[in-house]
């Protein structure tokens, strides 16, 4: 890809993906195109709007059908071009620019990989069957279709799998692909495929998952290579031209991740009991209460609550004191120091590879899988109805709001349920919706303590 | 419940244990996976990049221990006498030098290979066994572990195509599984998590409801096979009776609470509340009641949704393996090495033959005291290689480790090394110029 000055405006055409058929580029290699400097930046920003929109949608817990609509809309709005023939080039160029931007740290790579894969997945769904097969050809998949003889021998098992998912047994002309099970982790995890001797038999309607995994692993590898090239040569070579643009782009659009606690939300050890009652979301309140009750939490709970506390501003020293006070009641001081304090320091980036871990978002917590003895997870999702009702009424949710909340839960809108709880308890609407426990906390504190040292005078009026 | 015997353990006896019994050479052979330097294709750095960790007396914990050869491993263990030896992953570089490689965001110190491991612990079954609780195990609840071994072992081989699988007694209340195929060692965290999820059936905890939910018109072939080949028989022929699952009101209520149809539950309750007076002492009461329960649930009279799989759900709830998901999901998770001695019981972590796991008896596993006594009685009878375990009860365990696991594994590893070496030679011959 050659970057040219604005004056010389020449567009070359020779990408290795056909322009006539609406297809999905696989971004395997940078195409021999010339790009104007201003397009370099603006194309990237447009694509970033799409990726950021996807990120937002996911963290709000949007369901697949809603995400599909969202992606379609985002792509239509942001990725068009006045010359129809340029649309594909914009797609490719913007991807490659963002690769440069997002290859530079592990966190950036992780985010970019997730969003590009989600984007790829949804766009793949919109393709015509021929276009889908073209993509599959690119990944050498069509040759792995199961032949008739093999199909006959496993037909019954394939039928069992289909029926276990509430689908009809496959007909004689159904196409299945035989791939190593490593390539379809999602399908394996959900027991949605028949597996035998290390191979998974993937149905046509599951191919998205397969293609997405292959795309992901391909992109993951290339990002590492791009990073090496960036560090070893590009960054220096482009010091005065592209590098400043690249560096500016990455910091612009990521939402707050609560890794830096806000000033007014800083809490100390003596405040915890009080703010737990007033400003913790249900998930954290439950963990907190269980910790006080049992003087213990399993690993998942320690992570979820511990990182949350870090996000609300509890410093390492206070965190150690907090956990020590509880755990030592059950396991004793010595064992706490030996077995548990290391992990707390680890969470604050003071041990091991010194990653400063970020508090979990609602999306992450909702998708966790608490097992026997665990107390973490999202109560709106993981609690039975009675247990949830009991927990909510302990928090002080009135019976009318309770019904609204339970209605949301039944329809699996867990974050909306949490938002309604927030609104019921604070007497205020929360328009943005809850998508992060630390957001719940800071929004709550904003209402309950509008200024650090003010009295309660300017508390907003109740909703009813 | 068989009371936990006085712990057969004393830290001082670890010295002679490591001195004369612990099979260092075998552990080393295992961990090198064929990279013993005898073939030009061997990776000389491989063993040195493996992490070991030691738990010492006084709860001192030494992580990131690594060794260049068998002698270093042996000397370090003999010198430090660890209470527990854990095995970690193989890293990109020697763990002892990790700090030199951790540069900010781009962490070059990372795990590259690690066995696929599983940890099954009896405490996770406390809600389905009445004979013991917590750390205790007895012959009445041990079948739960036998079931786990059978179900998981069969699936690892038949479904995932793995061949080199080692099952080990954890020394007290569970079993560990090490899947050592090259394919398994190179799995990513995501792939490990997907396998763990594939095996996950029991969901939830004290906060949520019904913990086994088998939807759909049919069971996935893996679940169906497990049910037919293992779960059903163990439930009906062993656990029903040994755990008295339906004998008392408290216990049968637990099962009745799993039936979503209240009319069926009350019909059964009605039958059972009076049947103390029932005559037939020939058949076990649990078996009789289970038959009655099955009849009603499978009669088809009540075709309600959720009833379809009720019988299976109950059986799964009481028998299906419960794995510790966290252990399997991450490459850097440490796991106790085989042949360690459990400090709470004094028992050696011996291998279990999955093909004979019905015969495994945790109460007769050799203990530290027992072995040292055997050594003393036999006098010194070191064999050709200086190994003294031959005359002791440990001999069988080590023989099993070698014949059923280590030897086939080494053969396969050598073949793999040779194959990839030849491939590389071929490729370098084929590539011309640039």
Percent of chain B whose predicted confidence (pLDDT) is above 90: 68
Q: What is the mean pLDDT of residues A87-110?
A: 88
Give the strand pairing for B116-121 and B174-179: antiparallel
Are A338 and B59 inside 8 Å of each other by CB? Answer: yes
Point out the residue among B161, B205, B219 whose CB comes nearest to the CB of A197: B161
Question: What order do you get walking across the sheet with B351-352 strand by strand?
Answer: B116-121, B174-179, B165-169, B351-352
- How far apart are the C-alpha atoms of B308 and B23, rounded to whole Å? 52
- Answer whether residue B3 shows pLDDT above 70: no
Query: What is the nearest CA distance from B156 to chain A, expressed in angstroms?
Result: 9
pLDDT of A262: 47
- Is B216's CB within 8 Å of A164's CB? yes
User: With an 8 Å Cβ cutoff, is B159 touching chain A?
Assistant: yes
Size of interface A-B (CB pairs under 8 A): 112
Kindly state whether A232 is in contact with chain B, defined as any CB-CB distance less than 8 angstroms: no
What is the average per-residue pLDDT within A385-405?
92
Contact B13, B368 (CB under 8 A): yes
Mutate to test the interface with B, among A155, A164, A186 (most CBs of B within 10 A): A164
DSSP strand pairing (B351-352 vs A194-196): unpaired
Query: Is residue B191 within 8 angstroms of chain A, CB to CB?
Result: yes
Q: Residue A21: pLDDT above 50?
A: no
CB burial of residue B174 (10 Å; 0-12, 13-18, 19+): buried
**B276 in contact with A, Cβ within 8 Å:** no
Across residues A372-391, what is the average pLDDT? 92
Q: How far apart are CA A54 and CA A107, in angstroms?
A: 17
Q: Which residues of B touch A104 (CB under 8 A)?
A: 105
A37-137+213-250 is classed CATH 1.20.930.80: yes
pLDDT digits (tens, 9 = 90+) for A30-64: 777 778 878 888 888 899 989 988 987 877 667 78
Thinking of the domain B11-199+323-426, which architecture would CATH place it in?
Alpha-Beta Complex (3.90)
Tokens of A222: 């290339």
Q: Quick one: pLDDT at residue B77?
A: 96
Res A16: pLDDT: 37
Write the pLDDT tens digit of every residue in B117-165.
Answer: 999 999 999 989 999 988 889 999 999 999 999 999 999 999 999 999 9
Q: Known catalytic residue: B51? A: yes
Exposed / middle / buried, residue A145 (Cβ in 10 Å: 0-12, 13-18, 19+):
middle
Q: What is the domain partition of chain A in residue ranges?
A: 37-137+213-250, 138-210, 271-448
Q: Are A197 and B158 a contacting pair at CB < 8 A?
A: yes
Of these residues, B8, B26, B51, B374, which one is catalytic?
A: B51
Q: A165, B216: Cβ pair inside 8 Å?
A: yes
The angle at the Cα of A188, spanning A192 to B227, to the nearest 5 degrees, equals 70
Can you give the pLDDT at residue A457?
Answer: 34
* Sign of the CA dihedral with A229 first, then A230, A236, and A241 last: positive
Q: What are the C-alpha distances in Å from B39 to residues B34, B44, B75, B313, B420?
A: 9, 10, 26, 53, 12
pLDDT at A9: 33
Mean pLDDT of A119-136: 88
pLDDT of residue A354: 59
Average pLDDT score, chain B: 89
pLDDT single digits (tens) A182-233: 999 999 999 999 999 999 999 988 888 888 888 998 999 999 999 988 888 8
Residues of A in contact with B203 (CB under 8 A): 369, 371
User: Nearest-CA residue of chain B relative to A355?
Assistant: B105
Q: Which of B113, B121, B153, B312 is catalytic?
A: B121
Nearest CA distance, B291 vs chain A (angstrom): 26
Within 8 A of A335 by CB-CB distance, chain B residues are 59
Contacts of A165 in chain B (CB under 8 A): 216
Cα–Cα distance, A414 to A432 (Å, whole number): 15
**Smallest CA–CA distance from B194 into chain A, residue:** A189
Using one digit for the tens of pLDDT, what is the confidence trace for B334-363?
A: 999 999 999 999 999 999 999 999 999 999
Q: Which of A191, A199, A383 sits opposite B208 (nearest CB)?
A: A383
A159 in contact with B, Cβ within 8 Å? yes
- Within 294-313 of B, beta carbons closer than 8 Å to A belong to none
Spatial separation of the C-alpha atoms in residues B274 and A132, rounded to whole Å: 65
Inspect the interface and report whether the beta carbons of B205 and A159 lie closer than 8 Å: no
Residue A264: the pLDDT is 41
- pTM for this structure? 0.76
Q: Which of B119, B153, B313, B388 is catalytic?
A: B119
**Residue (of B187, B116, B190) closest to B156 by Cα position:** B116
Q: What is the rounded distance in angstroms from the CA atom of residue A443 to the CA atom of residue A430? A: 8
**Helical (H) or strand (E) element with A287:** helix A282-294
Q: Where are the alpha helices (DSSP H) in A60-206?
A: 64-78, 87-102, 106-126, 129-138, 148-164, 185-189
Question: What is the per-residue pLDDT for B70?
Answer: 94
pLDDT at A18 over 60: no
Find the mean pLDDT for residues B316-342. 95
For the purposes of burial, counting CB atoms within 10 Å of the CB of A223, is it exposed (0-12), middle (13-18) or buried (19 or more)? buried
B158 shares contact with chain A (CB less than 8 Å): yes
Residues of A in Cβ contact (< 8 Å) with B109: 353
Paired with B179 in beta bridges are: B116, B165
Q: Does the annotation count B119 as an active-site position?
A: yes
Q: What is residue A4's predicted lDDT score, i.e. its pLDDT?
A: 55
Q: Nearest 5°: CA angle at A346, between A343 and A351?
A: 120
- Bridge-based pairing of strands B351-352 and B165-169 is antiparallel
Q: What mean pLDDT comes out for the span A276-299?
A: 94
The residues, any chain, with a CB within 8 Å of residue A381's CB and separated by 6 or more, are A366, A409, A412, A414
The binding site of A for [4Fe-4S] cluster consists of 283, 362, 378, 418
Distance from CA of A384 to the nearest CA of B (A): 5
The DSSP result for A411-462, as a single string, is TT-HHHHHHHHHHHHHTS--TT----HHHHHHHHHHHH-SSTT--STTPPPP
- The reported pLDDT for the residue numbered A136 is 87
Length of chain A in terms of residues written: 464
The beta-strand segments (E) located in A285-405 are none
Respond yes or no: is residue B312 known to be catalytic: no
| A459 interface with B at CB cutoff 8 Å | no
Residues B107 and B333: their CA atoms lie apart, in Å, by 18
- For residue A179, the surrounding DSSP H or E stretch is strand A176-180
Q: What is the ipTM of this complex?
A: 0.91
* pLDDT score of B275: 64
Does residue A141 carry a pLDDT above 50?
Answer: yes
Q: Do A181 and B193 touch (CB under 8 A)?
A: no
Among A residues 353-392, those touching chain B with beta carbons less than 8 Å apart: 353-354, 369-375, 379, 382-384, 387
Residue of A105, A108, A163, A195 to mutate when probing chain B, most B C-beta within 10 A = A195
Q: Where are the domains of chain B?
A: 11-199+323-426, 221-319
Which B residues in the span 98-117 are in contact with A, Cβ-Cβ below 8 Å? 102, 105-107, 109
Stronger pLDDT, A347 or A264, i.e. the higher one: A347
- Cβ contacts (< 8 Å) between A164 and chain B: which residues? 215-220, 223
Average pLDDT, integer, range B304-329: 88
Secondary structure element (H or E) that encloses residue A289, with its range: helix A282-294
> What is the distance between the alpha carbons of residues B321 and B202, in angstroms, rounded to a whole number?
8
Contacts of A212 in chain B (CB under 8 A): none
């Amino acid at each position: 890809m050659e970057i040219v000055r604005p004056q010389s405006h020449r567009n070359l055409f020779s990408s290795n993906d056909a322009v006539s058929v609406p297809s999905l580029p696989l971004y395997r290699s940078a195409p021999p195109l010339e790009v104007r400097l201003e397009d370099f930046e603006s194309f990237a920003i447009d694509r970033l709007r799409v990726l950021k929109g996807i990120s937002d949608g996911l963290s709000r817990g949007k369901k697949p059908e809603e995400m599909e609509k969202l992606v379609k809309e985002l792509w239509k709005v942001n990725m068009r071009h006045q010359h129809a023939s340029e649309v594909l080039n914009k797609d490719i160029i913007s991807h490659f620019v963002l690769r440069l931007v997002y290859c530079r740290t592990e966190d950036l790579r992780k985010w970019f990989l997730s969003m590009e894969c989600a984007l790829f997945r949804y766009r793949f769904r919109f393709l015509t069957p021929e276009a889908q097969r073209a993509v599959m050809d690119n990944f050498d998949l069509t040759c792995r279709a199961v032949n008739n003889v093999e199909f006959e021998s496993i037909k019954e098992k394939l039928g069992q799998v289909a029926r276990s998912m509430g689908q009809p047994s496959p007909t004689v002309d159904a196409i299945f692909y035989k791939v190593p099970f490593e390539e379809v982790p999602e399908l394996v995890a959900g027991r949605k495929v028949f597996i035998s001797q290390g191979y998974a038999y993937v149905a046509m309607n599951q191919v998205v998952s397969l293609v997405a995994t292959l795309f992901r692993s391909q992109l993951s590898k290339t990002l590492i290579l791009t990073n090496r090239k960036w560090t070893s040569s590009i960054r220096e070579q482009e010091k005065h031209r592209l590098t400043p643009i690249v560096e500016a782009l990455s910091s612009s659009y990521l939402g707050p991740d609560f890794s830096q606690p806000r000033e007014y939300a800083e809490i100390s050890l003596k405040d915890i009991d009080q703010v737990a009652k007033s400003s913790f979301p249900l998930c954290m309140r439950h963990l907190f209460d269980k910790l006080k009750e049992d003087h213990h939490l399993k690993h998942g709970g320690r992570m979820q609550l511990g990182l949350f506390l870090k996000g609300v501003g509890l410093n390492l020293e206070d965190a150690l004191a907090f956990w020590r006070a509880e755990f030592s009641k059950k396991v004793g001081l010595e064992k706490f120091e030996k077995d548990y304090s290391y992990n707390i320091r680890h969470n604050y980036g003071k041990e091991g590879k010194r990653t400063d871990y970020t508090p979990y978002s609602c999306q992450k917590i909702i998708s966790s899988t608490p097992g026997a003895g665990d107390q973490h997870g999202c109560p709106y999702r993981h609690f039975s109805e009675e247990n949830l009702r009991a927990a909510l009424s302990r928090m002080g949710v009135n019976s009318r709001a309770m019904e609204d909340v339970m209605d949301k839960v039944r329809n699996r809108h867990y974050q909306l349920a949490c938002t309604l709880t927030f609104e019921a308890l604070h007497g205020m609407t929360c328009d943005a919706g809850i998508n992060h426990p630390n957001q719940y906390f800071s929004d709550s504190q904003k209402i309950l303590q509008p200024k650090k040292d003010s009295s309660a005078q300017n508390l907003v009026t109740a909703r009813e | 419940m068989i009371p936990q015997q006085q712990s057969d353990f004393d830290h001082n006896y670890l010295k002679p244990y490591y001195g004369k019994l612990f099979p260092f050479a075998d552990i080393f052979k295992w961990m090198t996976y064929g990279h013993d330097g005898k073939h030009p294709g061997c990776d000389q750095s491989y063993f040195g990049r493996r992490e070991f960790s030691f738990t010492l007396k006084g709860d001192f914990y030494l992580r990131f221990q690594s060794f260049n050869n068998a002698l270093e491993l042996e000397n370090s263990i003999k010198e430090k006498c660890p209470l527990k030896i854990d095995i970690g992953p193989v890293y990109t570089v020697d763990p002892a030098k990790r700090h030199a490689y951790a540069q900010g965001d781009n962490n070059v110190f990372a795990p590259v290979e690690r066995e696929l491991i599983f940890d099954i612990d009896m405490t996770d079954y406390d809600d389905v066994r009445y004979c013991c609780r917590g750390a205790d195990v007895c012959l009445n609840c041990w079948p739960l572990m036998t079931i786990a071994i059978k179900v998981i072992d069969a699936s690892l081989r038949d479904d995932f195509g793995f061949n080199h699988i080692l099952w080990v007694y954890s020394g007290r209340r569970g079993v560990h599984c090490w899947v050592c195929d090259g394919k398994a060692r190179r799995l990513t965290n995501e792939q490990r998590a997907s396998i763990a999820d594939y095996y996950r059936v029991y969901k939830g905890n004290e906060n949520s409801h019904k913990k086994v939910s088998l939807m759909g018109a049919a069971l996935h072939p893996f679940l169906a096979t497990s049910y037919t080949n293992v779960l059903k028989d163990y439930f009906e022929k062993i656990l029903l009776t040994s755990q008295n699952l339906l004998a008392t009101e408290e216990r049968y209520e637990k099962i009745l609470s799993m039936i979503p149809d209240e009319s069926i539950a009350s019909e059964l309750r009605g039958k059972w509340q009076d049947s103390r007076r029932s005559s037939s002492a020939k058949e076990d009461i649990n078996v009789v009641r289970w038959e009655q329960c099955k009849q009603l649930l499978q009669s088809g009279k009540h075709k309600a949704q959720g009833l379809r799989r009720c019988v299976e759900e109950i059986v799964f709830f009481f028998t299906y393996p419960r794995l510790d998901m966290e252990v399997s999901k991450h490459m850097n998770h440490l796991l106790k090495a085989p042949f360690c001695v459990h400090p709470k019981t004094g028992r050696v972590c011996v291998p279990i033959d999955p093909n004979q796991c019905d015969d495994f008896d945790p109460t007769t596993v050799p203990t530290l005291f027992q072995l040292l006594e055997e050594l003393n009685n036999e006098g010194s009878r070191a064999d050709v290689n200086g190994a003294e375990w031959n005359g002791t009860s440990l001999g069988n365990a080590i023989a099993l480790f070698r014949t059923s696991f280590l030897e086939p594994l080494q053969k396969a590893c050598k073949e793999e090394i040779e194959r990839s070496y030849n491939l590389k030679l071929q490729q370098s011959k084929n590539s011309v110029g640039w």
